[in-house]
Chains A and B, each alone.
Chain A
Amino acid sequence: MAKAIQTINLTKKYNGFCAVDSLNISIEEGELFALLGINGAGKTTTIKMLSCLEKPTEGEAWILGNSILTKSQKVKELISVSPQETAIAPNLSVKENLELMCGIYGMDKEQVQKKTKKIIKEFELDEIIDKKARLLSGGWQRRLSIAMALITEPLVLFLDEPTLGLDVIARRELWKSIVKLKGKVTVILTTHYLEEAEKLSDEIGIMSKGKLVAVGTAKQFITETGAENFEEAFVALYERGKVK
Chain B
Amino acid sequence: MRMIAFASRNFKEIIRDKLNIFFGIGFPVVLLLLLSLIQSNIPIPLFEISNLAPGISIFGLSFFSLFAGMLIAKDRTTSFIYRLFTSPMTESDFIMGYALPVLPIAIFQMLFCYIFSILLGLEISFNILLAILVSIPCAIIFIALGLLCGSLFSDKTVGGVCGALLTNLSAWLSGTWFDLDLVGGGFKFVADLLPFSHGVNAAKSAISGNYSEIFNNLLWTIGYTVVLMIISIIVFKQKMNSNRK
Contacts and interface: CB of A to CB of B under 8 A. Distances in A.
A53 B9 contact: no
Contacts of A106: 1-2, 88
Interface stretch (A29-37, A71-79, A232-240): A71-79
A104 B5 contact: yes
B83 A87 contact: yes
Contacts of B84: 104
B230 interface: no
A105 interface: yes
Contacts of B1: 103, 106
Interface in B227-245: 243-245
Interface string B63-88: 00000000000000011101111111
A81 interface: yes
A96 interface: yes
B9 A55 contact: no
B85 A87 contact: no
B213 interface: no
A129 interface: no
B82 A53 contact: yes
Contacts, number: 79
A92 B85 CA distance: 19
A51 B86 contact: yes
A16 to B, nearest CB: 15
A88 B79 CA distance: 8
Interface string A97-108: 001111111100
Interface in A103-126: 103-106
B84 to A, nearest CB: 7
Given A100-B5, A103-B1, A76 B88 contact: yes
A45 interface: no
A52 interface: yes
Interface string B1-41: 11011101100110011000000000000000000000000
| Chain B interface SS verdict (over half) | helix
Given A83-B83, A86-B79, A104-B89, A52 B5 contact: no
A85 B86 contact: no
A84 B244 CA distance: 17
Contact of A96 (B12, B78, B83, B89): B12
A163 to B, nearest CB: 16
Contacts of A91: 12-13, 16-17
A72 B222 CA distance: 37
Contacts of A51: 86
Interface in A11-56: 51-55
B35 to A, nearest CB: 33
B83 A103 contact: no
A87 B244 contact: no
Interface residues of B, number: 26
A166 interface: no
Interface string A194-223: 000000000000000000000000000000
A148 B245 CA distance: 25
A89 interface: yes
Contacts of A96: 9, 12
Nearest to A99: B5
Nearest to B1: A106
Contacts of B79: 83-87, 145
Contacts of B17: 91
A106 B87 CA distance: 10
B244 A55 contact: yes
A52 B4 contact: no
Contact of B80 (A52, A55, A87): A87
Contacts of B83: 81-83, 87, 148-149
Contacts of A85: 78-79
A87 B82 contact: yes
Contacts of A82: 83
Nearest to B87: A104
A103 B8 contact: yes
A54 B82 CA distance: 11
16 contacts: A52-B244, A54-B245, A73-B88, A76-B87, A80-B86, A81-B86, A89-B9, A90-B13, A92-B12, A100-B6, A103-B2, A104-B6, A104-B89, A106-B1, A148-B83, A149-B83
Interface of A: 51-55, 73, 76-77, 79-92, 96, 99-106, 145, 148-149
Interface of B: 1-2, 4-6, 8-9, 12-13, 16-17, 78-80, 82-90, 243-245
